[in-house]
């Protein structure tokens, strides 16, 4: 086994990198991408610096860890930014900006409101007469906060 490891040269690393990248195309969701890139980097280094097999594998391991960590760090920032801006499967976020016409007078404070096919507990800072177009301005827990829709 050691004999096989001692015989690895730049071409072996380039071939390993390409094989890993080709396997990545089968749909491994990025698991082999950074390993393949790391093997290609080791192959490129081997053209300029002759390294022993121990140093080759150590360099490969360091590159794998480093490239994977960089990608994780980048992706983690993207995921956090995406979470703050998404409203999919967050019913309360989807309610903001919706409008409806009141069927009954809405008292100052808390009352009930029909939005779509659901009745919601709602709050208002003023009395709103029936037939008025209202808009949801924010959601606090399961209570929608409404105000009279201003025409533009």
pLDDT, averaged across the chain: 87
The three-state secondary structure class of 53 is helix
Q: How confident is the model at residue 29 (pLDDT cuts 50, 70, 90)?
A: confident
Q: What does 18-32 look like in DSSP terms, one character per residue?
A: HHHHHHHTTT-TTTT
Q: How confident is the model at residue 85 (pLDDT cuts 50, 70, 90)?
A: low
Query: Which secondary-structure segment (H or E) carries 87?
Result: none
pLDDT(117) > 80: yes
Can you give the three-state secondary structure of 100-135, one letter per residue? EECCCCECCEEEEEEECCEEEEEEECCCECCCCEEE
**Alpha carbon distance 76, 67 (integer Å):** 14
Report the range of poorest mean pLDDT among 14-23, 43-52, 117-126.
117-126
In order of 134, 146, 151, the CA distances from 108 in angstroms are 14, 11, 21
Average pLDDT over residues 117-140: 90
pLDDT(77) > 70: yes
Q: How confident is the model at residue 17 (pLDDT cuts 50, 70, 90)?
A: very high
- What's the Rg (C-alpha) of the chain? 30
Q: How confident is the model at residue 96 (pLDDT cuts 50, 70, 90)?
A: confident
Residue pair 20/35 in contact (Cβ under 8 Å)? The answer is yes
């Amino acid at each position: 086994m050691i004999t096989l490891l001692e015989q690895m040269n730049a071409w072996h690393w380039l071939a390993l990198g390409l094989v890993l990248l080709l396997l990545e195309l089968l749909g491994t969701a990025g698991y082999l991408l950074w390993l393949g890139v790391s093997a290609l980097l080791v192959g490129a280094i081997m053209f300029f610096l002759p390294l022993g097999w121990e140093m080759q594998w150590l360099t490969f391991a360091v590159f794998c860890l480093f490239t994977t960590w960089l990608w994780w760090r980048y992706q983690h920032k993207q995921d956090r930014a995406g979470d703050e801006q998404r409203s999919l499967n967050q019913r309360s976020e989807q309610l903001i900006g919706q409008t409806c016409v009141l069927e009954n007078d809405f008292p100052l404070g808390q009352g009930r409101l029909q939005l779509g096919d659901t009745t919601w507990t709602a709050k208002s800072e003023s009395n709103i007469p029936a037939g008025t177009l209202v808009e949801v301005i924010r959601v606090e827990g399961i209570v929608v906060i409404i105000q009279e829709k201003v025409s533009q």
